[in-house]
Structure 1
Amino acid sequence: MESTNSLLEYYVSPIQGDTIANGSQLRPWKSIAQARDAVREQRSSGYNGPVNVWIGEGRYMLNEPLTFTAEDSGAGNEGRTAYRALPGSAPVICGGRRLTDWEPAGDGVYRSFIGAEALRSFGYTLFENGERAFEARSPKQGYFAVEGKGEGGSGGGRGFRFKRGDVPTIANAANKGLKVFIWPGEGEWNWFSETKPVAAVDWDKDTVSFYDPAPWGIDKGSRYRLQGARELLTEGGEFYRDEREGYLYYMPRSLPIEKQDIVLPLMKRVIDIAGGDGQRERAGSEEEAGLAGLIDDTGAANGIVRHLEFRGLTVEMSDFLPSYRMPESNRERMEAREGLIRLENAEQVTIADCVLRHSGLSGIVLNGRCKDIRIVNNAIEHLGFNGIYAIGFAPGEGEFESVAESDVNRGHAMAGNTVRAGGELIGHGSGIQLYQSGNCTIDGNVISGMPRYGISLKGLRYKAMEQAYYGTDVTWENHWDLLHARNNRIVRNDISDVMKDSQDGGMFEAWGAGLGNRIVGNRFHDSGIYFSVGYGIYLDDAADGFLVSRNVVHDLYGSGKGSLWFVIFAKGVDNVIENNLLVRNGAKAAIGTQEMAGEPNRDLTVRRNVVIDSCEQLYHFINWGDERLKEADFNLFYRADGGAPTVSGFRGGDTYGKVPIAWEEWRAFLGGRFDEHTLSTAPLLEEAERGQFRFSPDSPVWSLGWQALETED
């Protein structure tokens, strides 16, 4: 221990630490938990100054999560407790154990004894030399397609009929750990994936049945793959878990197997930052909590963990689930709310300059009551599910007395992070997702390689709400009070290569979010829709009151059977789409609208947008109504082939836009109410480097009131 100017410092090293350690730089502790306990003792004795715990070079292999509670809180902003990499060091905190005791099992497969009871508790994913291994599967790439509903023609998600030959003969399949990774949704929707344990396979009737049904029906065309049976273990990088005998079977990518770094995760969270129970849910704000006498400098009085910092650390390798079930009304099930770092009942915690990699589920999870969490400049990669996942309370959930009290997941800053390669185990994984979490800033992140969204905001749409919550009747006028994913600033993010394995989604997406969200100054680019339909920016059902402004959307495309339907799809009410640049997008239309599920779609403003070589249609209105547009003008549309814009779907039941009307006919519609000043002419756009756009001083966009993208918002 060293203390200078009231700064308390401890040191940890897995290499130099020994039994006579005292936490000093010369005699560091071997484990981080020893330092944590020493800090806890100092805090309980009244020390309120800052603490630095310096973590030295090496790999810290954990047998259980590294846990921080309210007792470990810092003492205010001036007395934070920081766990930091020692300068020049790159410490790694690992949530697994290295497997070294292997024996040959034939055909290039090896096995290691874990123990039957242990193997039922953990080890649902595996890593070799920092690369994920997968449960033995078929097919190895892509999917099979369901042939039809299960036996008796019953959909119901209880099983399905397969094409003969797709499911190989597996003796005693239900006892061999066979599972099906599947996209339920009647063969049409590919919104959420599930992993279903198989109860039985009938090879005479070509049917598979599950122990528990999927929430949605399964029918012809639903995509699936088989995994988890010994008979499927045929390629390097695949494993099989024999829970009856307690062996893990693995076919390594490289030999000899003893020299490979093969790690079996033991825990679903590696760092667990969790305050305890108490009266915290009663306080709707820090001010109210202070008046109630619930908060002190450390947070210990009310069970909240506060004022911690984690900086420069690598946190890796957490476990997956035996099976995964999709959310209920966007509300993630509790067993899936896990991450390499998980926070709950936490405030003013910083995670910065870290590497978070190889998760079973998400990278960082902010569950339940979390406020003012800073997630800054981290590399978050190779994730089983989402990169960053903030999960607040659903309407009516929690022991709250009012709607205002339930708004307890908010105020986070997620900035400068690189989030890539998500959804490796859950097909709808996304970069950053906020569920019922608001007043957040998502700024300057680079997101790529996601099977579904880049960034998503979720809540609950009005028509899906119950009649009353917390003793208050729900009305159209007050229902937005229940939607806490509001007033979020999504700014300056760079998103590419998403929507890789799902449909009816977008690079940014919102569904049932609250009011006041701003999508400003982002770059969405180089991403495809590979089957069915998808969009660039997607304001889905009941996404109301959004500002979509100064974004650049370029080089989006449809591939194979996929179609980029609209660059921007705006449902909801009172949304504003202004001053966006859309370039080289292979879309059906620049902007689409639709009213569905009984949720209104009206009063949309579209102004000062520039659309270049992106589509033939400027607008596509599904089920047009005269209240759909509030304002549409001062836009610019240009095609290098000289084609004028068209508009479709706004009259005569032309839902799919098969009969577009000419531009001048649209401008005369409703007495010339829309696009009076909109131009169809060359924009004089310069592109010094790919994706770096600037209009020349002579461009006609300036006469339309175009605002330069680099100006402050």
Structure 2
Amino acid sequence: MARPRPRAPPVTRATLPLRFRSIGSYATPPKSTAPLRPWIAPPVGRATLAEHTKCGFERPAFSAVGLAFRPGPHIISVMKKTMLLLLTLWGTAIGVEQADYYVATDGADTQPGTLEKPFASIGRAQQAVRERVEKGLSGPLTVLIRGGRYELSEPLRFGPQDTGPGQHCITYTAAAGESVRICGGTIMGDWKRDQDNLWSCPAPASEGGNRPVRQLYADGRRLNRGVFPAEGLLRITKASSDARTIEFDRDLAGDLVGTGAEVVIIHNWSIARGIIAGVEGRSITSATPLGWVGHHWTCPAPGKPAFIENAPGSLGKAGQWRFDAKTRRVVYRAADEQAPATMQFVVPRLEQLVVIRGTAERAVSNLCFRGLTFEHAAWNLPQRGYAGIQAGYNGTKNEPGDELEYAMPVAVELAHARDCVFEQCRFLRIGASAVGLGVATFRNRLVGCEIGDVGGNGVHIGLPDGPIRTLDQDWSNPAEVPTGNEVSNCYVHHCAQENFGCVGVYAAFTEDTRIIHNHVAHMPYTGVSVGFRWDPSPSSQKNCLVEYNHIHDCMIRLADGGGIYTLGYQPGTILRGNHIHDIHRSEYAHGGAPNNGIFFDEGSLGFLVEGNVIHGTSGEAIRFNQNRPEGHVWRGNSFDSAPGAAGFPKDSAAHAGIEPLYESFFQSADNSR
């Protein structure tokens, strides 16, 4: 998608072989299902469920009459439920508060970390764990964290010295029935009324100095910055070749220079952001390029929509805010009779919350995080600005040589890590991307987690270890390829809230990745994206399983994507049993390319596409660009048959999404944030 190549016309129903054509019609998509509620840790004793399954569930083999067999998914589901019930009852019988170390907000780091005298910080508990590991640890170890808010002064960093011994996990878990929030933000106070319903407060210092405030949350809700124009969008009438000077179709209000005002350009499948450095009539000049220069589709052009954030005088609606760069104060427009002093405002300060990084010689392994919420991570606009290319990658020039491309930072990062698990955790209110699995990450798992209100990608598997020279750059060493990682039974929603071209779950240059039984919804662009090479040449991307996901309400803002998006040759990759619907087309989407259920983009080859249920898409259920249906294997899919229509595979549709065991965790939890 990102290369400046001519595009082949999309394959239509009429040109597809009979087995690919739509059956039935679907005029009115059903309303979206209600969002799942957050999870709070159930009562489990000293040995967590993850401990009894080597940091997560495995599918055991059984033997009957001398013949080995593996149970199917329904049997596994029953086994999981039975195991959870037995372990919960056992944990209750021995006492739910048993652990090796305890942390509580009313504790002290000078105390021994017992139940009666807990530590105050997770960092102090980590230090105690390291001392135990250094002395020789022969079994599992648990750190139990009591409910409350734990504000970080720096990211939690885990290295090889934090590794669990043998097959045993070191587990950091929330106390039973309690909500543990690990925060990278600062609570604001001292609000003063300026005039009418406008209030202001001094901005707290940020990581790395006095950076602008770019995200603000009130009582757990992301607040929108003030925007110009208040209604509708600007349209570009002229753009310079360096993508910095842009002329719009209307006059611009007020003095924008030096105020921190930020222009946002909406491209086809990406956006660009830059600080306004000059204004003349209807034209602005950005401090940085507002496109990937040299590539037509990701550069400013006449007709493309735009808007300006954080401009003076832009707070026309209650709940909007702006950062005044001249006074370093946050200005908020309250609703009538609303007092900011009665609300909790949080400014994210840290870009990263957790870093799990080993070395090529010694990986981090066997860490388990259970029932924890990671929240309020910042995203600071880079000095180069943000010229989006695709899926959070950004750069300045589409030229070979010294130009670099960058992935978005991630709040929780794993590198040289294996057999680590995040189980029933939440990643919320994140400025950039939420979770990244990078170099030499093996068999790590996100299970039963909620990932929502994220500025970039929800999960990025294949995160590069620094800037890259070309977008399709593979790992130089085969031993570095992320392998066997899993995202399962997760609720991934409202990602790409700041950079609309990001996706829910992304995997590229990985092997044996499993993206299964997730609920992916409410995305400005694509839901699940696999592969990142624009031709059928071999790469490390292979054997990916995208199975039984419920994907809906995607492509809300941008164009040229779908519920699932693919690139390149991916032998052994399977798209199976996914239920995809409500794939939209915004009136502001630029360009003529449609939005689809599954979009097989350039070079896509070697997929098994089986048992998928797709309906309610603004474009064709399936689209091909520079590849053909004959390059894939097709079995038993249902395209465009409406729910309620004769032949609609309702059982297949119902099987997609979060499995009952994990769904009950979300639905039984308290809905408070």
TM over 0.5: yes
Rounded to whole Å, the distance in 1 between the matches of 2:451 and 2:519 is 10
Match of 2:248 among 162, 178, 187: 162
Cα deviation per residue 1:525-562 (whole Å; 9 max; x = unaligned)? 23322344211111100111111111011222x3xxxx
2:349 matches 1:266? yes
8 Å CA contact retained: 1:551, 1:580? yes
Q: CA deviation at 1:70?
A: 2.0
2:277 is matched with: 199
Whether the aligned pair in 1 keeps the contact of 2:349 and 2:377 (CA below 8 Å) is yes
**1:688, 1:484 → 2: CA distance?**
36
- TM-score (norm. length: structure 2): 0.73
2:378 to 295, 307, 319: 319
Verify: 1:369 aligned to 2:369, yes or no: no
Moved more, 313-322 or 234-243: 234-243
Q: 2:647 aligns with which of 663, 672, 685?
A: 685
Counting only pairs closer than 5 Å after superposition, residues 107-256 of structure 1 correspond to structure 2 as 107-114=196-203, 120-121=210-211, 123-140=213-230, 143-146=233-236, 148-150=237-239, 154-165=240-251, 167-170=252-255, 173-184=256-267, 190-203=268-281, 206-213=282-289, 214-215=291-292, 216-252=298-334, 255-256=338-339
The structural deviation recorded for 1:689 is: 8.8
CA-to-aligned-CA distance 1:91-139 (integer Å, 9 cap, x gap): 1111111111112222422222236787733632010011001222123
Paired residues of 2:146 and 2:178 also in contact (CA < 8 A): yes
The equivalent residue for 1:460 is 533
Deviations 1:193-228 (A, max 9, x none): 11111121111xx21121222214312211111012
Contact 1:116 1:245 in 2 (8 A): no
TM-score w.r.t. the length of structure 1 is 0.69
Q: Secondary structure at the match of 1:310?
A: strand
- Pairwise mapping of residues 534-553 of structure 1 onto structure 2 (< 5 A)? 534-553=595-614
Contact 1:317–1:340 (8 Å) recurs in 2: no
Give distance in 1, aligned partners of 2:324 and 2:490: 39
Count of paired positions: 533
**8 Å Cα contact 2:583/2:595 also seen in 1:** no
**Structure 1: distance between partners of 2:216 and 2:266:** 23
Match of 1:347 in 2: 418
Counterpart residue type for residue 86 of structure 1: A
Structure 1 segment 402-551 matched on structure 2, within 5 A:
403-405=476-478, 407-462=480-535, 479-480=537-538, 483-512=539-568, 514-531=570-587, 532=592, 533-551=594-612
CA distance in 2, matches of 1:456, 1:234: 37
The structure where strand makes up a greater share of residues is 1
* Secondary structure, aligned partner of 2:368: strand
Distance 1:331 1:258, change over 3 A: closer
SS state of the match for residue 101, structure 2? Answer: strand
| Counterparts in 2 of 1:445 and 1:198: CA distance versus 1, 3 Å | same
In structure 1, what is the equivalent of residue 622 of structure 2?
Answer: 567
- C-alpha separation between the residues in 2 aligned to 1:71 and 1:337? 28
Q: What is the DSSP-based 3-state SS (H/G/I as helix, E as strand, rest coil) of the residue aligned with 1:545?
A: strand
Distance 1:459 1:565 in 2: 22
Q: How does 1:14-53 map to 2 (within 5 A)?
A: 14-15=105-106, 17-18=107-108, 20-53=110-143
Q: CA deviation at 1:431?
A: 1.1
- Out of 317, 321, 332, the residue aligned to residue 393 of structure 2 is 332
Q: Secondary structure at the match of 1:529?
A: coil
Offset of residue 346 of structure 1: 1.7
Is the contact made by 1:544 and 1:575 (CA closer than 8 Å) also made in structure 2?
yes
Change (3 A) 1:583 1:461: closer
CA distance in 2 between partners of 1:690 and 1:405 (Å): 37
Alpha-carbon deviation of 1:353? 0.5
CA–CA separation in structure 2 for the residues paired with 1:685 and 1:19: 63
Q: Which residue of 1 aligns with 2:18?
A: none
Gaps of at least 5 residues in structure 2 are 1-44, 52-97, 293-297, 395-404, 656-673
Q: Which amino acid in structure 2 is aligned with residue 14 of structure 1?
A: T
Partner SS state of residue 416, structure 2: strand
Aligned residue for 2:585, secondary structure, equals strand
One-letter code aligned to 2:247: R
Deviations 1:615-665 (A, max 9, x none): xxxxxxxxxxxxxxxxxxxxxxxxx9xxxxxxxxxxxxxxxxxxxxxxxxx
More relative contact order, 1 or 2 (CA 8 Å, 6+ apart) = 2
Deviation at 1:13? 0.7
Query: Is the Cα–Cα contact under 8 Å of residues 159 and 218 in structure 1 kept in the other structure?
Result: no
CA distance in 2, matches of 1:416, 1:327: 29
Which stretch has the larger CA shift, 208-217 or 372-381? 208-217
Q: Following TM superposition, by how much is the alpha carbon of 1:430 offset from its aligned partner in structure 2, in angstroms?
A: 1.4
Counterpart selection for 1:101 from 184, 190, 211: 190
- Report the 3-state secondary structure (helix = DSSP H, G, I; strand = E; otherwise coil) of the residue aligned with 1:35: helix
In structure 2, which of residues 93, 104, 113 is the aligned counterpart of residue 13 of structure 1?
104
- Counting aligned pairs with the same residue, the percent is 24
CA deviation after TM superposition for structure 1 residue 348, in Å: 1.4
> Are the aligned partners of 1:116 and 1:243 in contact in 2 as well (CA < 8 Å)?
no
Shift of 1:392: 4.2
SS at match of 1:525: strand
- Kindly state the Cα deviation for residue 142 of structure 1 after the two structures are TM-superposed: 5.3
Deviation at 1:327, TM superposition (A): 5.0
Deviations 1:506-530 (A, max 9, x none): 1100123532211011111233223
- Displacement of 1:36 in angstroms is 0.5
Tell me if the contact between 2:443 and 2:483 (Cα under 8 Å) persists in the aligned partners: yes
Seen in structure 2, the aligned counterparts of structure 1 residues 131 and 395 have a Cα distance that, compared at 3 Å, is closer
- In structure 2, what is the Cα distance between the partners aligned to 1:522 and 1:243? 47
The alignment partner of 2:341 has SS state of helix
For 2:352, the aligned partner's letter is R
Query: What is the RMSD computed on CA atoms of the aligned residues?
Result: 3.1
SS of 1:436's partner is: coil
Rg larger for? 1
Residue 50 of structure 1 aligns with an amino acid whose one-letter code is P
Separation (CA, whole Å) in 2 of partners of 1:540 and 1:320: 30
Taking structure 1 as reference, are residues 692 and 426 closer, same or farther at Cα in structure 2, changes over 3 Å only?
A: same
Aligned to 1:659: none
